[in-house]
Structure 1
Amino acid sequence: MSEQAHTVGRYLAERLKQLGVGHVFGVPGDYVLTFMDQIIDSGIALIGTCNELNAGYAADAYGRINGLGALCVTYGVGGFSALNAVAGAYAEQVPVVAISGTPELAHRRPSMLLHHSVGDLRAQLSIYEHVTVASVLLTDPDQAPAQIDAVLAACLIHKRPVMIEIPVDLVQRPCAAPGAFQPVLPASDPAALDEALDEITGLLRAAERPAILAGVELHRFGLLEDFEKLVARTGIPVATTLLGKTVISERDACAVGVYEGAMSRPEVRRVVESADALLCLGAWMSEMDLGIYTAHLDERRMVNANSGRVRIRYHSYEPVTLRDLLQGLTGRIEANSLRRSQFVPAATALKQDVLTTNADRALTVRHLFARINRLLTDDTIVIADAGDALFSSADLVMHREADFIGQAFYLSIGYSVPAALGVQLAAPGRKVISIVGDGAFQMTAQELSTIIRHRLKLTLFLLNNDGYSTERLIHEGPYNDIHGWQYHRLPDVFGGGLGLCVRTEGELEAALERAEGFEDGPVLIEVMLERSDSSDQLKRLCDEIARKSSPPLRNAE
């Protein structure tokens, strides 16, 4: 970058780079072109996506791996297109910076109707305020640096999205240069922390069957190392929520698997629901994580610790940070001093005999995921879309922490394809597997072309069961049908990569062999499945949704 005076646009771009953002996802538009020049000049790679929604999904996944993601779009049509992705990041506590160029300040007059707007130039920021932890319209170059820093600090502290609107005529306005940047993190109240630690350690020492239910906040707030130390110190069994899958390596001797109420494996449900002291760390109690209210958890035996607050039975301590709580418990509990019941680790429970392959046998969901399980290595990251891709992935044994990504709370279908773009750029050299259903793929299929454009090597398993299988299991209707595509031919349409179609176990093996040797971009494997084929987990989930609907849906038992 030339040695020009600092400008508002340059300040924002350099701050993002300083915070570790190496890629920004977006779509150009006239209100944001000059700021995009600033992004490129800063040395950050600007990754053009096929639409703004996909830019948001990619930034979300990038943020989950990198610790911060960013997207840059034009005003109105761009910002509103990206809104759903930002809402998903807000719902699942992902730090993402959404940047929108806006009309010139000089043109912001009530009588002026400007293109891309809905007439009210306050509308975009007002709507984004509901799905961000902080938002700002920059209007004064002297105040802009402090405003930018305050918004970015909120993003990093709360691990949620923020929105920055930067008018076209402010991008090149001179401002102060960026200095040191260190957000002030929340602190625990010492007295509240001490009392909480006393009570929790007392409960754990008195328990016969203590257990831990671990959740996503351990990952979001960078606490995996502290959590690993606590688990090693206590030696008690650890289950995770689906959203928190891989906050612990699933090959750890204490890891028992994913807890989802009645959708859980029996061993996982027994460990969690029979615990006489259940330490819930960073776990969200959503209806999905609780198996559509099929969980049987006794609040009298639970400790719920989330960011800033600890709730024990029917009273709470705050402010108490998760980091301080984890470190305090590790310091107070003597190694392996707690009693614990017998349990079967996930790696043992899910270890299968040699997978038998019948070359002519039709593929099933069960066989496919058993085979994917054998593809996993220490370097693998799995991204699973909403639906059977997600619920079947619950029993994949991931080798390392934070190596599984799935929108298990917001559940926006189509997330996984642009998410694969974000993950592969955030973790170059890692082995990325993306799993998506045919209905979900049609939502964001065009982002495969961006993956091909950048020659990113990843494997995408596309489950083709001819429509919206989740909705069919809940309530059958013609709206669950979609037009069939020849998905495996799309790499040819997009000009790169490799597309394969498999129907039998033998064809899958041949496809995996070809995929392993293919180095020039992504491999899409279209897996042809019976229309009615789905995992037992998804069937149980959909039965509960149908049964609990009011009035009950017609195909509920």
Structure 2
Amino acid sequence: MTATVTVGTYLARRLEQLGLRHLFGLPGDFNLGLLDEMLGGSGLRWVGSSNELNAGYTADGHARLRRGPAAFVTTFGVGELSAVNATAGSRAEDVPVVHVVGLPATRAMAEGALLHHSLADGDFGHFVRVAAEVSASAVVVRTQNAGTAVDRALLTAVGSSQPVYLGVPADVAVAQVPAAPLARPLRVLRSDPAVAEEFREALAEFLDGAQEVTVLAGPRLHRRHLEDRVRALAAQNGVRIATQSASKAMLDESHPANLGVYAGTFTRDPETRRRVDEARPLVLAGVVMTDFLTGSFTHGFDPDAAVDLHLDHARIAGAAFYGLFLEESLRILEEVLEARSPRPAPLPRRAVAPAPEHVPADPDGPLTHADLWPLLQGWLTPGTLVVAEAGTSFYGALELTLPDGCDLLGQPVWSSIGYTLPATLGAMLAAPERETVLVIGDGSAQLTIQELGRLLTSGLTPTVLLVNNSGYTVERAIRSPEAPYQDVVEWDWTRLPAALGAPGTPVFQARTPADLVEVLAKVRADRDSGGGHAHFVELFLPRDDAPDSLVQLARSVR
């Protein structure tokens, strides 16, 4: 007899084969059978969320820190629509997230039954069509060929580094399908060997004689977890590397080949801007050319005159090589650089001096961004994951010189406020051994604060720095700072950890630079002693104070 498994079990096992250990989401009546099948016969650990938007954000953060996709489950209609914003962010930022939706039974949908959670018009395709607009693939699974549909969706997520939607009707979730395909793990898409060879020859010709090569490294390298390749490129003679803001610290900022962050006219170091804009040749590796990442399109280089390495193709001075994935094109770049003859001499490297210890001008005066970020920089340890919310937090973090091994996680392309709080949960579940610091503003935190309870009660030990500056500082910097829509309700933030289920969380406040130094010392002492606590710190900053880079951004938007 042919061995079978349910569709739900088949999906769970395929996810496990891709390395997943966590499944995020919320239950609903249309996905209960599906959840039972997915969790009953697998090793997946269920991590519930407070709402579907947070579940999508959590899965996004999880996928960014692990080598492979993440997955979350919602119910039909009311659940899946709540997650659309998160899925759109994953699409905009190239994050492979599998959104699994429990749908009504196949017969009920075919008959146009006027079910709850529907629009009561008999059309059950509305929400799939919505998902198709923000996903690389949107599929409703049928019992016939269910395994093939699941496999294709997962391969699309991994191959494109994009979110996919899998709608699973209630009857299909428990239907039996052949188990035999599970014996062969999914083969991730591979580059076309013929195209790879053509690219190699064209690249060698393009770089022929180049003694100096400048690489601009973008966030899509993170999505493919190619940081080691970037470090290998940096070790090549004659190679310098700049990064976009979304990939800051991909190469240690102390590395002598690191040119720093490039963002057109927003680039802080004029030398960095000059070297990228005037580079001949220039290699764009996993770069994203959006407004916030190019200094409102003030970049001074021509992408059509560069080597441009994308997720699934490459270009050399406009000539396209399709079917060539970023992993392969970056490997070929490294080999072509290694094979140069005569081999270039090592370039003179810029001196990277350690940042001097910051001494506030007025330790007992109001805490401002001019003191916050330098003091935080001196406190961070190597290897820390810094998660920074869109707005003052992200652009303040860009002004840090991060210690070696650190990473900056943000969402500068989609820039949906509130993203980072649940994303921190997902990221820490993927890398629980890393020290993690979340910096988030009061206005942003109010959107997704429910997930703070899960973050503080999951055995994780983040340090949460809540920037209380009375509303939407970035919007005020752009326009109408006194408008009532810029205000938020003042919360008693220090009571929230207890109210959300974590009464033992150490809670602090800092109103002055001296307060901040004292608080950070207490947090560090607790961490160093193995206290095993998460920490919540409320930072009071003036309403209209902002990092210089954010002021510059706001000016360009205005």
The answer, yes or no, to whether TM exceeds 0.5 is yes
Question: Within the alignment, does 1:405 sit opposite 2:409 as a pair?
Answer: yes
> Structure 1: 5+ residue runs without aligned partners?
547-557
Deviation at 1:449, TM superposition (A): 0.9
Instruction: Give the alignment of 1:389-400 within 5 angstroms.
Output: 389-399=393-403
1:37/1:498 Cα in 2 relative to 1: closer, same or farther (>3 Å)? farther
The correspondence of residues 200-215 of structure 1 with structure 2, limited to 5 A, is 200-207=203-210, 210-215=213-218
> Partner of 2:510 in structure 1?
502
- Where 1:233 maps in the other structure, the secondary structure is coil
Match of 1:463 among 455, 464, 467: 467
2:545 aligned partner: 533
- The number of aligned residues is 538
Which of 265, 269, 276 is the aligned partner of 2:268? Answer: 265
Alpha-carbon distance in 2 for matches of 1:399, 1:160:
30
Question: How far off its partner does 1:202 sit?
Answer: 4.4
Q: Does residue 133 of structure 2 align to residue 125 of structure 1?
A: no
**How far is 1:299 from its partner?**
4.5
* TM-fit CA distance, 1:155: 0.8
CA offset digits 1:335-367 (Å, max 9, x no partner): 89347875536xx26x32122245413211132
Q: SS at the partner of 1:71?
A: strand
Distance in 2, matches of 1:485 and 1:390, equals: 22
Please show how residues 123-162 of structure 1 align to structure 2 within 5 Å: 123-140=126-143, 142-162=144-164
Distance in 2 between residues matched to 1:262 and 1:245, nearest whole Å: 17
Residues 184, 485 of structure 1: CA spacing in aligned structure 2 closer, same or farther, 3 A cutoff? Answer: closer
Residue identity matched to 1:333: L
Correspondences of 1:142-291 after superposition (within 5 Å): 142-177=144-179, 178-188=182-192, 190=194, 192-207=195-210, 210-266=213-269, 267-291=271-295
Rounded to whole Å, the distance in 1 between the matches of 2:489 and 2:479 is 19
Separation of aligned partners in 2, 1:234 and 1:275: 16
Using a 3 Å threshold, how does the CA distance of structure 1 residues 305 and 433 change in structure 2: closer, same or farther?
A: same
Residues 472/437 of structure 1: CA separation in 2 closer, same or farther (3 Å cut): same
* Native 8 Å contact 2:389 2:441 kept in 1: yes
In structure 2, the gaps of 5 or more residues are: none
> Distance between the aligned counterparts of 1:335 and 1:363, measured in 2?
53
The residue aligned with 1:550 is: none
Aligned counterparts of 2:167 and 2:112: Cα–Cα separation in 1: 21
Tell me the residue number matched to 2:7. 8
Letter in 2 for 1:170: V
Give the CA deviation at 1:459: 0.7
Deviates more, 1:79-88 or 1:290-299: 290-299
How many Å separate the matches in 1 of 2:34 and 2:500?
Answer: 29
Q: 2:233·2:334 contact (CA, 8 Å) conserved in 1?
A: yes
Look up the match of 1:554: none
Q: 1:453 to 1:283 in 2, by over 3 A?
A: same
Relative distance call for 1:484 and 1:15 in structure 2 (3 A) is same
Q: How does 1:409-424 map to 2 (within 5 A)?
A: 409-424=413-428
Shift of 1:152: 0.7
The two structures have a TM-score, normalised by structure 2, of 0.91
Name the SS of the counterpart of 1:284 in structure 2: coil
Contact 1:134 1:162 in 2 (8 A): yes
Aligned residue in 2 for 1:551 = none
Change (3 A) 1:300 1:6: closer
Shift of 1:400: 5.5
Q: Is the 8 A contact 2:384 2:406 kept in 1?
A: no
Q: Does 1:72 pair with 2:73?
A: yes
Specify the SS of the correspondent of 1:183: coil
Distance 1:310 1:172, change over 3 A: closer
Structure 1: 4+ residue segments shifted above 6 A: none
- Percent identical among aligned pairs is 33
Contact (CA 8 Å) 1:490, 1:499: kept in 2 or not? no
Give me the whole-angstrom Cα distance separating, in 2, the residues matched to 1:539 and 1:437.
Answer: 16
Q: Partners of 2:347 and 2:198 in 1: how far apart?
A: 27
Shift of 1:272: 1.2
Q: Give the partner amino acid of 1:239.
A: A
Match of 1:279, SS? Answer: strand
1:555 maps to which residue? none
Residue in structure 1 matched with residue 498 of structure 2 by the alignment = 492
* Residue equivalent to 1:55: 55
Structure 1 533/334 Cα, relative in aligned 2: closer, same or farther at 3 Å?
same
> Could you tell me how far 1:312 is from its partner in structure 2?
2.9
Equivalent residue letter for 2:82: S
Aligned position for 2:26: 27
Distance 1:287 1:240 in 2: 15
Task: Give the corresponding residue for 1:94.
Answer: 95
SS of 1:108's equivalent? helix
SS of the aligned residue for 1:382 comes to strand
**Residue in 1 that maps onto 2:376:** 372
Please give the alpha-carbon distance, in whole angstroms, between the structure 2 residues aligned to 1:234 and 1:28.
55
Deviations 1:121-148 (A, max 9, x none): 11111111111112221221x4211211
Residue 5 of structure 1 deviates from its aligned partner by: 5.4
| Cα distance, 1:536 vs structure 2 | 0.8
| CA distance in structure 2 between the aligned counterparts of 1:75 and 1:515, rounded to whole angstroms | 43
The CA distance in 2 between the partners of 1:335 and 1:206, in whole Å, is 11
| Contact 1:257 1:395 (C-alpha < 8 Å) held by counterparts | no
Contact preservation (8 Å) 2:151, 2:186: no
Whether the 8 Å contact between 2:238 and 2:347 is mirrored in structure 1 is no
1:321 maps to which residue? Answer: 325
Q: Distance in 2 between matches of 1:433 and 1:6?
A: 42
